[in-house]
Chain A
Amino acid sequence: MRERTRELAGTLVFPLAGLALITGIILLGGKSPVQGFAALISGSLGGAFALAETAIRACPLLLAGLGVTIAFRAGAWNIGTEGQIYVGALAVVALAPALGMLPAPLAVPAGLLVAAVAGGVWAWVPAFLRTRRGVQEVISTIMLNFVAIQLVSWCVHGPLKESTGQFPYSNEIPAALMLPRLLPPTRLHLGVVFALAAAAAVWVFLFRTVRGFQLRAVGASPEAALHAGIRTERSVWSAMAISGALAGIAGAVQLMGVSHILFEKFSPGYGYTAIAAALLGGLHPVGITLSSGLLGALEAGASAMQREAGVSTVIVYLVQGVIILSVAHQAARRRAVTEAIRQRGAQEV
């Protein structure tokens, strides 16, 4: 019984500490925590509009989170999803005039393909630098995030500035590239269906194909995989490229489904939130579908919280950080328990 209580305390320590911290910050700003949390819930779950907002915010998180999953499963720390999201959206906007000439049923897939290639190449660079030059991808992917953000900033101030040349954002993408709305007047768009389909595809790839198995083997033990004849370098390359492609698609879906224009700060940190979604979802497509729904609700609710209770949305990052820490902590606890059981077993034998 005491074991059970301690186990429960261990599970709850980070979430409770996080909740206390957030309540404290809201009080410090002279706002009402009750009003804040009420807005958080009504803004994410209260009614069709709120639910649609939750779904469209979950959409890029799910797509990019699946990308993060594939990289992490292969033992490649792709923290560059934020940059890959930007590059994906940028590629679509850059080619929008050409893509817009295609008939609508072709324009959308072509747009997604362009974004996937751009994101994939952007993510393959750090994979190449890691396997050939020994550059840690934790650092290189972050550096490329900053480069991508400046690249987009330059484009929307320069070559891709809207036609009147007054404002630092791109022209609206042609109608053929816009994703149809599923339930007007809510903003729910077709991208949500794409994201769910991608989750199913990633599940099949990871758990039902040889390439997926090889990729997981490389992540679990690179040396064993090498001895088993798996070309680890190629696995890392393809994992990072697929990972970046999914993040690029996430950027394209956000562009084609929601914003329709590209601007600086186009992504409010979706790439980083996607990492939280992937880890919270246990690096499993089903788990990530649920966790991105939860984090999407958090984002939608946080916007309502800022509007109605004046609590800044940046607080969401605190919640995400605490989630990641508690997941890391829990995983280590579970490992310690299995280890203890194994050792006890070994002693008895």
Chain B
Amino acid sequence: MTGLEEFLSGTIRLSAPLILAALGEIVSQRSGVINISIEGMMLGGAFAGFAAGAATGSAGAGLLAAAAAGALFGCVFAFICVVRNADQIVAGMGINIAMIGLTGALFRAIFGMESLATAPRLEDYPIPVLSGLPVVGKVFFTQSVLVYACGALALGIWFFLRSPQGLGLRACGVRPEAADAAGVRVGLTRFAAVVFGGTMAGIAGAYLTLAQTSSFAENMTSGRGFIALAVVIFGRWHPIGAVLAALIFGGANEAQFWFQARGSQAMIAGIHVHIPYQALLALPYVVTLAVLTVFAGSYRRGPRALGKPYVRSR
């Protein structure tokens, strides 16, 4: 692979978990529910995928377990926030913190302190013929199944949001009372949207433990769920927009590895500069802040009823 191919393919690999989580969050937010616990749900999915993969020796089983775990967390969140109408931000924080404890404690209980346990890897699947194309073949068509799923799901969600059911879902996020009057079951729609978002976050987490590495570490999502939230905003709550936004964040992350691999020496205006590795580790977060600072305000502020519980008045 050439340097460029390597960089682009790495960018896509690092964007994939952001895309998966952001696509789920878009559906959830378009229905009016802001779920800031995709960070915790990704962590839960990462652990469930790792544990089930290690136990069964099958990456596919790990992936299924992660999706199921994500759906379960989605149900918990939806029960608290959609059925009981609790504050979505507070409940989201609760799940995030609980997940650090749950996955950390389970990991140590099952795999021990000095664990070197590994899960089977979800191997790349080169698409026949297409993967033989110059540049594009290496970059786009020699990837994990989950990367292809990103593309398919982005298109699928785009079409879904434009369908009659999708219209109903979007109505729940803009004017739930109008949606209700038009016969849309607001609670049910939001519940389903949140569970879908949780499932996607679970899969996104499994991508980290099954496709990117084959190991688990405590709190390994380290803010990716929050970066996915930024991706949703930067992508203007649109699935294709989110894919493009995620690629920018993935690129920043790949650039960080690229610098680290090259001894973090850089030439700036002819002067050798030593970049401390901590600055590189902070780069994805700084980029997120910078992107939001430039773009967040100039966009419309998302679905109107976002974050507001819907209580039917009699």
Stretch at the interface among A92-100, A201-209, A222-230, A329-337: A329-337
| Known contacts A21-B102, A138-B89, A324-B90, A329 near B288 by CB under 8 Å | no
Pair B282/A79 contact, Cβ less than 8 Å = no
If the complex has contacts A139-B229, A151-B278, are A133 and B108 also in contact, measured as CB distance less than 8 A? no
**Bound-state Cα–Cα, A322 to B80, Å:** 12
User: Which of B97, B293, B294 is packed against the most chain A CB atoms within 10 Å?
Assistant: B97
User: What's the least CB distance linking B101 to chain A, in Å?
Assistant: 3
The answer to whether A46 has its CB under 8 Å from any CB of chain B is no
Q: Is B68 an interface residue (CB 8 A)?
A: no
Residue in A closest to B77 when the chains form the complex, CB atoms: A325
Instruction: Give per-residue flags for B274-314: 1 if the beta carbon is below 8 A from chain A beta carbons, else 0.
Output: 00101101100110110011101111010000000101011
Q: Is A106 an interface residue (CB 8 A)?
A: no
User: Judging by beta carbons under 8 Å apart, are A332 and B85 in contact?
Assistant: yes
Q: Is the CB of B282 within 8 A of A325?
A: no
Question: Is A143 a contact of B276 with CB atoms below 8 Å?
Answer: no
Q: Given contacts A146-B223, A151-B278, A157-B278, is CB(A332)–CB(B87) below 8 Å? A: yes
Find B292's partner among A132, A135, A147, A325 (CB 8 Å cutoff).
A135
Interface string of A125-146 (1 = CB under 8 A from B): 0000100111110111011111
- B273 on the interface (CB 8 Å rule)? no
The residues in A between 242 and 298 inclusive whose CB is less than 8 angstroms from any CB of B are 269, 272, 275-276, 279
In the bound assembly, the distance between CA atoms of A140 and B281 in angstroms comes to: 16
- Give every chain B residue within 8 A of A198 (Cβ-Cβ): none
Residue of B nearest to A30 (CB): B109
- Contact at B229–A321, with CB atoms within 8 Å? no
A276 CA / B299 CA spacing, docked (Å): 33
Q: Which residue of B lies closest to A321 (CB)?
A: B98
| The one of B276, B301, B313 that contacts A134, using a Cβ cutoff of 8 Å | B301
* B278–A153 CB distance below 8 A: yes
Minimal beta-carbon separation of B249 from chain A (angstroms)? 12
Q: Which residues of A contact B179 (CB under 8 A)?
A: none
Of B105, B229, B278, B297, which is within 8 A of A25 by CB?
Answer: B105
Q: Note all chain B residues with C-beta closer than 8 A to A320.
A: 97-98, 101
Contact B222 A146 (CB under 8 A): yes
Say yes or no: is A169 at the interface (Cβ < 8 Å to chain B): no
Docked-complex contact B101 and A143, CB < 8 angstroms: no
B 84-114 binary contact with A (CB < 8 Å = 1; else 0) = 1111011101111111111011101110000
Q: Is there an interface contact between B98 and A325, defined as CB atoms closer than 8 Å?
A: yes
Interface flag for A7 (CB, 8 Å)? no
Q: Tell me the smallest distance from the CB of B278 to a CB of chain A, in Å.
A: 4
Cα A158 to Cα B278 in complex, Å, equals 11
CA distance A339 to B99 in the complex (A): 32
Residue B97 contacts which of A140, A317, A331 (CB distance < 8 angstroms)? A317
Once bound together, how far apart are the Cα atoms of A263 and B76, in whole Å?
A: 37
Is the Cβ of B93 less than 8 Å from the Cβ of A79?
yes
- Contact segment of A116-124, A184-192, A308-316: A308-316
Instruction: Give the residue of B102, B282, B297, B311 whose beta carbon is less than 8 angstroms from that of A146.
Output: B282
Q: How many angstroms from the CA of A140 to the CA of B223 in the assembled complex? A: 11
| In the complex, B6 has a CB within 8 A of chain A | no
Whether the pair A324, B281 counts as a contact (CB closer than 8 A) is no
A318–B293 touching, CB < 8 Å:
no
CB distance from B103 to the nearest CB of A (A): 9
- Which one of B286, B296, B299, B314 has the greatest number of beta carbons of chain A within 10 Å? B296
Evaluate whether A143 and B89 lie within 8 angstroms (CB atoms) in the complex, with A28-B110, A29-B108, A272-B97 already known: no
Considering the chains assembled together, what is the distance between the CA atoms of A332 and B90 in angstroms?
Answer: 11
B289–A143 CB distance below 8 A: yes
The answer for the CA separation of A132 and B298 in the assembled complex, in Å, is 11
Question: A142 and B226 in contact (CB under 8 A), knowing A157-B278, A328-B80?
Answer: yes
Contact with A along B198-213 (1 / 0, CB 8 A): 0000000000000000
Tell me whether A154 and B279 are in contact in the complex, defined as CB-CB below 8 angstroms, given that A319-B101, A321-B99 are known contacts.
yes
Complex-state Cα separation, A147 to B86, whole angstroms = 31
Chain A residues 206 to 223 lying within 8 A of chain B, measured CB to CB, are none
Given A29-B109, A320-B98, A333-B84: A147 in contact with B285 (beta carbons within 8 A): yes
Contact of B101 among A133, A317, A327 (CB under 8 A): A317
Q: A321-B99, A322-B98, A325-B98 are in contact. Are A139 and B93 (CB under 8 A)?
A: no
Given A317-B100, A321-B94, A331-B86: A143 and B285 interface contact (C-beta under 8 Å): yes
- List, in ascending order, chain A residues with CB within 8 A of B97's CB: 272, 275-276, 317, 320-321, 324
Bound Cα distance from A29 to B154, whole angstroms: 41
- A346: nearest residue on chain B (CB-CB)? B314
Chain B nearest CB from A36 CB (Å) reads 11
Most buried by A among B84, B101, B294: B101
Query: In the bound complex, what is the Cα–Cα distance between A318 and B47 (angstroms)?
Result: 15
Question: Is A237's CB within 8 Å of the partner chain B?
Answer: no
0 or 1 for each of A335-349: is its CB under 8 Å from B? (1 = yes):
110010001000100
Q: Is the CB of A324 within 8 A of B292?
A: no
> A339 near B105 (CB under 8 angstroms)?
no
A150 at the interface (CB under 8 A from B): yes
C-alpha spacing A319/B105, complex, angstroms: 11
11 contacts between A and B (CB under 8 A): A21-B102, A129-B293, A133-B296, A138-B36, A143-B223, A144-B285, A314-B104, A314-B105, A328-B80, A329-B84, A343-B314
Known: A28-B110, A321-B96. 12 other contacts (CB 8 A): A29-B109, A133-B293, A139-B288, A147-B286, A154-B276, A314-B101, A320-B98, A325-B91, A327-B94, A328-B91, A331-B86, A332-B309
Chain B positions within 8 Å of A, measured between CB atoms, are 36, 40, 76, 80, 84-87, 89-91, 93-102, 104-106, 108-110, 218, 222-223, 226, 229-230, 233, 276, 278-279, 281-282, 285-286, 288-289, 292-294, 296-299, 301, 309, 311, 313-314
Chain A contacts to B: CB under 8 angstroms: 21-22, 25-26, 28-30, 77, 79, 129, 132-136, 138-140, 142-147, 150-151, 153-154, 157-158, 269, 272, 275-276, 279, 311-312, 314-325, 327-329, 331-333, 335-336, 339, 343, 347
Q: What are the 5 tightest A-B residue pairs by CB atom distance, in nearest-first order?
A: A321-B98, A317-B101, A318-B101, A134-B297, A324-B94
